[in-house]
Structure 1
């Protein structure tokens, strides 16, 4: 994912809210697979901005499941930025812990199916 100029604030740094939205999307992939259906974000347990993100940074998101409960899945997401293509280097810019809950068609919590 590469942030664009419209995602930047007046100082040229990418909005924290834009990064949070991308982390939420990336973090939801594994819980959706585990829940085998619809999920909702119920908690942002931790969110740490370690470095600013700039236009032109190429972001990579890595999610790891840290807990599977009866109705919820918690994930840890790390975000890395590739910078300076002429002399490439990678830096961790953000990490977060989010919890998602499996929900039914009425938006009510439902049990996570047994894992194979």
Structure 2
């Protein structure tokens, strides 16, 4: 499923997986992708919360295509909803395969995660402007 990178958006994270990141089938281990999705999702969550957040839920996670050693993997994340203390983030992951003129872009994963803003005692705290949608 060839596609293109989201136009006008900057990735929250870009990384090239290495052989140590593979599973028994020789593709990149799903847990590796999941951990990077969580990191990428935390970037806009921390910004929206204006402080620390914790992951409280993985609402959905779909692996569409495998990731291979040497792919340039880009993680795009955006706020899709906020509550009083929570921030829901959509994450899309794309792999760029090949280099130069033969580069193919494939969406490999999409996920939605929920984070909660926390205070210095690790207790939920209200977001600045809490309750605004798409803030």
Q: TM-score, normalised by structure 1?
A: 0.96
**Which residue number in structure 2 is paired with residue 109 of structure 1?**
124
Structure 2 SS opposite 1:41: strand
**Which residue number in structure 2 is paired with residue 64 of structure 1?**
78
Is 1:28 paired with 2:45?
A: no
Runs of 4+ in 1 over 2 A off after TM superposition: none
- Please give the per-residue CA displacement for 1:15-50, whole angstroms capped at 9, x wherever unaligned: 100000000000000110111111000000000000
**How far 1:75 sits from its partner (Å)?**
0.6
Is 1:37 paired with 2:30?
A: no
Please report the RMSD computed on the Cα atoms of aligned residues, expressed in angstroms: 1.3
**Which residue number in structure 2 is paired with residue 10 of structure 1?**
24
Distance 2:82 2:44 in 1: 11
Unpaired runs of 5+ residues, structure 1, are none
Aligned residues: 116
Unpaired runs of 5+ residues, structure 2, are 1-14
Q: TM-score, normalised by structure 2?
A: 0.83
Distance 2:46 2:89 in 1: 11
